[in-house]
């Protein structure tokens, strides 16, 4: 019997999305699922992209790379779809045609090596502002535990990078402690990241987010 993963994210749905956004989810999202990636190349994954601000920036910064975003919150998925869709041409804007979306728990595609999911290695993996689950009884829900970090390491190219950012400094220290049970190494703690909505909100009221870059 397969053991179900502990859920590491909150709700899947927020307020009702618009009719147009629902049309995008029904008609555009199925076309840009990761299983539809047909070409080889460099792959970048962002886990938990929120409304997609940073994911869109990655697509612009790396036009020759394939950008995959994983986000289980459907309001965020529909918001990203709205921002990359050109209503006048009824197509995805050319500058965002390298974006693919997985609207569910990222562990599903990381653990499955079939062609339907992610059989390839990743050059960069971003995990920016994951839910810190600050209460002690919720600590088991934290995404960046050693098991998950090892899973990311197994999907990382040689000399690839995992970029983690959080404005919850206790969570940051907790992640550093989790690294003891992985083979990952710290490359840097100096990262220039686009200021996303979550960074501006600064949920933990700290001076600034803290970052860490890891390699295998």
173 counts as catalytic:
no
Q: How far is CA 138 from the centre of its chain?
A: 21
Catalytic option among 26, 64, 86, 131: 131
Pairing state between β 156-166 and 122-128: parallel
Q: How far is CA 47 from the centre of its chain?
A: 1
* Cβ count within 10 A of residue 54: 24
Provide the phi-psi class of 139: left if phi over 0, else alpha when psi is between -120 and 50, else beta: alpha
Q: How far apart are CA 189 and CA 1, in angstroms?
A: 41
Contact between 137 and 70 under an 8 Å Cβ cutoff? The reply is no
Cβ-in-10-Å burial (0-12, 13-18, 19+) of 6 comes to exposed
Question: Which residues are designated catalytic?
Answer: 131
């Amino acid at each position: 019997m397969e053991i179900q993963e502990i859920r590491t994210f909150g709700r899947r749905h927020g307020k009702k999305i618009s009719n147009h956004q629902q049309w995008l989810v029904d008609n555009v999202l199925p076309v840009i699922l990761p299983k539809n990636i047909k070409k080889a190349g460099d792959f970048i994954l962002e886990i938990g992209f929120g409304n997609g601000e940073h994911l869109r920036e990655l697509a612009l910064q790396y036009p020759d790379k394939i950008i995959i975003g994983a986000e289980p919150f459907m309001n965020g998925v529909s918001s990203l779809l709205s921002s990359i869709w050109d209503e006048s041409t009824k197509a995805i804007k050319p500058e965002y045609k390298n974006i693919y979306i997985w609207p569910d728990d990222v562990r599903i595609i990381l653990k499955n090596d079939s062609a339907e999911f992610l059989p390839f290695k990743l050059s960069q993996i971003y995990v920016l502002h994951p839910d810190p689950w600050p209460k002690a009884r919720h600590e088991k829900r934290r995404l960046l535990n050693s098991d998950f970090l090892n899973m990311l390491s197994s999907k990382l190219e040689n000399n690839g990078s995992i970029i983690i950012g959080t404005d919850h400094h206790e969570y940051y220290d907790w992640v550093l402690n989790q690294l003891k049970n992985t083979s990952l190494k710290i490359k840097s703690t100096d990262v220039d990241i686009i200021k996303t909505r979550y960074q501006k909100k600064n949920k933990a009221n700290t001076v600034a987010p803290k970052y860490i870059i890891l390699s295998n």
